[in-house]
Amino acid sequence: MTSQAQAEPERPRPPASGRTTTAALARAFFSRPSRVAAFLWAAGALAVALVLPLRHWPEPSMLALAIPAAIAAVCAALRATLGERLPRWSLQVDVGLGNLLVSAAAAGAASEHTNLANLYLLVEVFALLYLPLRSALVHVGAAGVAYAIVLGVGPQTGEPPVVAWLAVFGTAVVLGAVIVGLVSVLRAAAREDPLTGLANRRSWDERLEAELERSARSGAALSVVVLDLDGFKAVNDAQGHHAGDRVLQAAARSWQAATRSGGDLVARIGGDEFSVLAPGSDEIGAHHLARRLIDALPEGVAASVGVATWDRAEGASDLVRRADRAMYLAKRRRRRGRDPRPA
């Protein structure tokens, strides 16, 4: 879809700054759970290995520390080399095994009043970041039970067991709440247009593919409505971008109010281009929806509209392209002073 504003020549982009490069590297790292898992396995192995030369450990405690450290090192190597080829569910195995090895290390270190239970936090942070919330909470609960058993039947670290348990899992609860909140905010931000609060292009693409699959299974109708604000570039040029932003926000609010809550999806695709996904709407229903969207616009704001109903054969891009062509046909008719109804 191409708007008037996007038709302007593309301006050269400034070279990427060091800050941008750092952000890109961070995204590349944290977007790959296997890389993060390899790093945390290596960090855990190193943390345990560094404790070994600091004391004269009894043989059982030495084994309880050395074996988990060696297994963690092997897991780090496996994740670093094979991680991308392993199925997603294997992350569950990492978390479960990580909790087991931390429990063994914590039990072994307790004989010398050394507490390695904080390593649980590395495992639980990973679980809360990369596993479904319900699974992550199960793993956190299992780790809490495991550490309670370690404190109940093993040697003591020098502080009351209840205090030791709360120090670790009280921190885990607070840290977990912060992580869950941040992840929720970031996921919403990744799918939401910051100016209008509507779904963004990424969210639109994902929902469109999902609705096409659902419609193919159920046989229900599916339509797309494409909207492009008329004269938007002139508003920006004459009144400034703040005025243009207010127009976009007003249009977004009016279109959200005119669609079915929980059914239709209104998205800002880019610039002054919007799309509405209408599951269950056939061609007649989609044209009625398009008329409601036009009528809902604030006074002084106009838009061109195109409608396309899925023919049950075309792909997502072809469906949107048909609606796009219909919208541009409507725009040409408006410019010629002819019937402005949706095409």
Q: What is the DSSP string of 177-217?
A: HHHHHHHHHHHHHHTB-TTT-SB-HHHHHHHHHHHHHHHHH
Q: Which of 52, 43, 37 is nearest to 118 (CA)?
A: 43
The answer to whether residues 264 and 198 touch, using CB atoms and an 8 Å cutoff, is no
State the greatest distance between any 2 C-alpha atoms of the chain, in Å, as a whole number: 92
The Cα 81–Cα 288 span in angstroms is 56
Q: Which of 94, 264, 272, 324 is catalytic?
A: 272
- CA distances (Å), 271 to each of 38, 123, 296, in order? 41, 42, 20
Asked whether the beta carbons of 196 and 236 are under 8 A apart, the reply is no
Distance of CA 275 to the CA centre of its chain: 21
Q: Which of 322, 309, 245, 317 is nearest to 330 (CA)?
A: 322
Q: 7: which 2 tokens?
A: 């038709």
Integer-rounded Cα radius of gyration of the chain? 28
Task: Answer yes or no: 272 catalytic.
Answer: yes
Q: Which residues are catalytic?
A: 272
